[in-house]
Structure 1
């Protein structure tokens, strides 16, 4: 199993910020509606979204939003497949994470009562059709000191979907080698929003992804440099959103 981590600590990927993030926003599309960017979780969110989506290119994407399953279902407008296990990363150290692996699934539903669909407390696995779906999941989970979304990029097809679901169900605790196959890509986004919590990206695959990750890292470094060089020219929200689109390197509504 090949595992890669990005741990920015207190240094965000984007170090210079658009002043408009810290001012009032006009009606219409905003940094948060479009890229889950606000004046706390700033432009680095667009970089994370682009990285996760581009790393899983060519694969079918499924995601587990930690804990806020019902909120995620409302944001996406569809019900998830219920599973028993979700992944957990604790990022309370700027230079390291505690990788707890798969842990019992949780949700905001009371542990002793059925949820809104008549099911007891379990995690939810959602299929994502476009980057905007991942943005909507971030909207659902960015409610606490720390938030987490686990993304599985797997081979297309109903059989692979069924196998993924089966691997995340049952009493036996799964492991990444037992869940992933061949060219599957696992991406965990852990986002720190409060003091003492940090961002962390964990990528795993049976395949060697080092060259792909290095290539994307170079591309995003160039995109960040270009974005920061344009900050003085971003006179309004429209210009900012156009610049963040280039920063992310993805189109929100295109698979």
Structure 2
């Protein structure tokens, strides 16, 4: 099977695509250095949120999410870890009442819970943080490195989740997005995203019986774009796996990952 095969369906009147690798992740031949002692920073984790558990496939996911949402303004909700994300990004989010929730505890399917009430850890960065404990944080993403920083914040537990909402640029659309994620009425995904907006939920499993999953949704037909990206990543993965054993040190590995991910972390 293709290393990035998406199952397509129509749900609630919109197009939904799911990548469910189960036990077979996109990258199957890993750099041996991931399992050895690392020198001081930079490391695979600081640069790409890659470690010896969540391996090079995380760099592929980052690239896929960023390239799929190109041309749109990107906003992200890190499930539960709002304050950790604010610290990692160095900025405060817009607070909203709803976040998305997907459970990936089956290698062949996910439980899509849709939007659920926001919930957050409460840090000590400000005295009144407890007042907003039940609200989620919507962060703007300027570069792919921001997405990596969010991964740093959420990769703390058995599973982690980041929801990216890529919408038309401009303050009016942002206000409408925030409004749709606020209030007591549970929003539906078709009402939150519009026209050519792209929804991407990235779920990463770290412990046994938790799995990776990518859910993509849009009113638009994204199948051609997903197919093109999947074909491109098949080529990139094959090239990376063909040279992985020849990457002599950390510098060589870190130099090879951009070609695998297909992105420059600091490019807009």
Q: Does the TM-score normalized on the shorter chain lie above 0.5?
A: yes
Which residue of the partner structure matches residue 222 of structure 1? Answer: 235
Which residue of the partner structure matches residue 146 of structure 1? Answer: 159
SS at match of 1:244: helix
CA-to-aligned-CA distance 1:12-67 (integer Å, 9 cap, x gap)? 10000000000011112110011100000000000000000000000000000000
Matched, 1:137 2:150: yes
CA-to-aligned-CA distance 1:83-110 (integer Å, 9 cap, x gap)? 0000000000000000000000010129
Which of residues 41, 44, 48 in structure 2 aligns to 1:35? 48
Which residue of the partner structure matches residue 251 of structure 2? Answer: 238
CA-to-aligned-CA distance 1:100-123 (integer Å, 9 cap, x gap)? 00000010129xxx7538534200
Which of residues 206, 211, 215 in structure 2 aligns to 1:202? 215
Which of residues 94, 99, 113 in structure 1 aligns to 2:112? 99
Is the contact between residue 62 and residue 128 of structure 1 (CA under 8 Å) also seen in structure 2?
Answer: yes
Which of residues 3, 20, 35 in structure 2 aligns to 1:22? 35
TM-score of the aligned structures, taking structure 2 as reference length: 0.92
Alignment map for 1:1-255 (pairs within 5 Å) = 1-109=14-122, 116=129, 119-255=132-268
Is the contact between residue 121 and residue 133 of structure 2 (CA under 8 Å) also seen in structure 1?
Answer: no
Structure 2: 5+ residue stretches without partners? 1-13
Is the contact between residue 95 and residue 135 of structure 2 (CA under 8 Å) also seen in structure 1?
Answer: yes
TM-score of the aligned structures, taking structure 1 as reference length: 0.97
SS at match of 2:199: strand
1:11–1:129 distance in 2 versus 1, CA, 3 Å: same
RMSD (Å), alpha carbons: 1.4
Whole-angstrom CA distance in 1 between matches of 2:128 and 2:160:
21
SS at match of 1:196: coil
Whole-angstrom CA distance in 1 between matches of 2:35 and 2:20:
25
SS at match of 2:157: coil
Is the contact between residue 109 and residue 121 of structure 1 (CA under 8 Å) also seen in structure 2?
Answer: no
SS at match of 2:225: helix
1:115–1:66 distance in 2 versus 1, CA, 3 Å: farther
Structure 1: 5+ residue stretches without partners? none
1:248 Cα shift? 0.3
> Please, which moves more after superposition, 158-167 or 117-126?
117-126
Whole-angstrom CA distance in 1 between matches of 2:55 and 2:198:
26
